Amino acid sequence: MRSAARMMPPSKRPRRLRQAQWIRTLVREHTLAAEDLIWPIFVTEGRGVRESIAALPGVSRLSIDQLVVDAKRAQALGIPAIAVFPVTAEALKDDLGTHATDPSGLACRAASALAEAVPALGLIGDIALDPYTSHGHDGVFRDGEVLNDETVGILAEMALVHARAGFNVVAPSDMMDGRVGATRAALDAAELERTLILSYAVKYASAFYGPFRSALGSARRQGSVDKRTYQMDPANAREALREVALDLEEGADLVMVKPGLPYLDVIRQVKDTWQVPTVAYQVSGEYAMLRAGADAGAFAWTDALMESLLAFKRAGADAIITYAALEVAEHLRSGYATTARA
């Protein structure tokens, strides 16, 4: 026979706050909105081009005219900014990434078209050499080494070219030491002080970038030196705080942690320590992994996607870069509740 003590009902019942949708909504600690999203887009040459990317189901390379169409759609859904990644023709690549500073390059032409068509939409330009180098590194590669200081000078020039083309934000993604300071100095000297810097302050040498490199054709091709000589060791968290401190001191306006889901602890530490605008990147491998799991029947695609993005907000991210931004914004507009469904 059970004792009376064991039969006594609990006086504290957390489930009372979960019993109906209205109360769950009322007490929810974190929410996801279209205004939290940044949409990364691959732009390619041509006209009328929508080229599917095998490694990223549901994602396409777009020609500039199609990019403008989709950018208008993004703006109408309440997405505040897009990030543009150009697919550079192999014939334009060289060891120094010379085409990166060409004002007539694909990224700059895309920015000009977007600035005219959707002037209220934020435009983020990727500042790195890997889409433009024949060896696939993010900097000048010589004698078996990626050269830091020589690369920084090129990156600062590239940022100027991008800002003049219409990008509101330049985003150094290379992880060279000192590139934020050099970029800020170059922008200010050119009277482009209103241009924002979103620093990839915490970019890990990750296995989750593969589909992105496939989409851009920027896979590493040169020698035994790899990106671990400049991107961060996944084992380190305290180092991330030092990287953020340096970039803020050098003039970064926003900082990023990349990848996102495997590094939620780092996002939280960065936000708690510095209390600055913090961006999380749901990188290509994360996106592709969720797609593959859903395709295999392991879980429902939309529910898993929304839950993963909500996790970024819970960890402290102010904005999230995701390839599913348009789809997410459409779900949110239709009234989707960003909580997992059993």
Angle, nearest 10°, between helix axes 264-274 and 301-315?
30
Per DSSP, helices labelled H in 177-263 are 179-189, 210-216, 238-250
Q: Please provide residue 50's backbone torsions phi and psi, each rounded to the nearest 5 degrees.
A: -135, 95
> In this structure, what DSSP letter does residue 55 have?
T
pLDDT digits (tens, 9 = 90+) for 59-70: 999 999 999 999
pLDDT digits (tens, 9 = 90+) for 284-329: 999 999 999 999 999 999 999 999 999 999 999 999 999 999 999 9
Buried b (16+ CB within 10 A) or exposed e, 212-233: bbbbbebebeeeebebeebbbe
**15's tokens:** 């489930």
Q: Are 130 and 86 in contact (CB under 8 A)?
A: no
pLDDT of residue 216: 85
**82's tokens:** 């897009």
pLDDT of residue 9: 87
Nearest to 258 by CA among 183, 155, 173, 159: 173
Q: Are 60 and 51 in contact (CB under 8 A)?
A: yes
- The answer on pLDDT for 342 being more than 90 is no
In 10 A of CB 50, how many CB atoms? 14
CA distance 199 to 169: 10
**276's tokens:** 């600055």
Strands 140-142, 145-147: pairing kind = antiparallel
Strands 50-52, 60-63: pairing kind = antiparallel
Torsion sign across C-alpha atoms 301, 303, 306, 312 = negative
Distance set, CA 11 to CA 14, 15, 16, 20, 294 (Å): 10, 12, 11, 20, 41
Per DSSP, helices labelled H in 131-237 are 148-165, 179-189, 210-216
CA distance 219 to 215: 9
Contacts for 111 with CB less than 8 Å, ≥ 6 apart: 84, 123, 125, 162, 165, 166, 167
> What integer best gives the mean pLDDT of the chain?
94
pTM of the model: 0.94
- The answer on pLDDT for 271 being more than 90 is yes
Which residue among 12, 93, 227, 258 is the active-site one? 258
pLDDT digits (tens, 9 = 90+) for 157-175: 999 999 999 999 999 999 9
Per DSSP, helices labelled H in the chain are 4-7, 21-27, 64-76, 106-117, 148-165, 179-189, 210-216, 238-250, 264-274, 284-295, 301-315, 325-333
Q: Please provide residue 278's backbone torsions phi and psi, each rounded to the nearest 5 degrees.
A: -125, 130
Has 203 been annotated as catalytic? yes
Percent pLDDT > 90 in the chain is 87
Nearest to 288 by CA among 206, 212, 341, 205: 212
CATH superfamily, with its number, for domain 31-333: Aldolase class I (3.20.20.70)
Contacts for 12 with CB less than 8 Å, ≥ 6 apart: none
| Rg, C-alpha atoms of the chain | 22
Work out the pLDDT band at 8, boundaries 50, 70, 90: confident
Which residue among 12, 72, 93, 203 is the active-site one? 203
Residue-range domain boundaries for the chain: 31-333
Find how far residue 71's CA is from the centre of its chain.
Answer: 17
- The answer on pLDDT for 2 being more than 60 is no
**319's tokens:** 């904005």
Q: Please provide residue 198's backbone torsions phi and psi, each rounded to the nearest 5 degrees.
A: -100, 105
Considering only residues 226 and 334, tell me which one the structure prediction assigns the higher pLDDT. Answer: 334
- The answer on pLDDT for 113 being more than 70 is yes
| Residue type (1 letter), 200 | Y
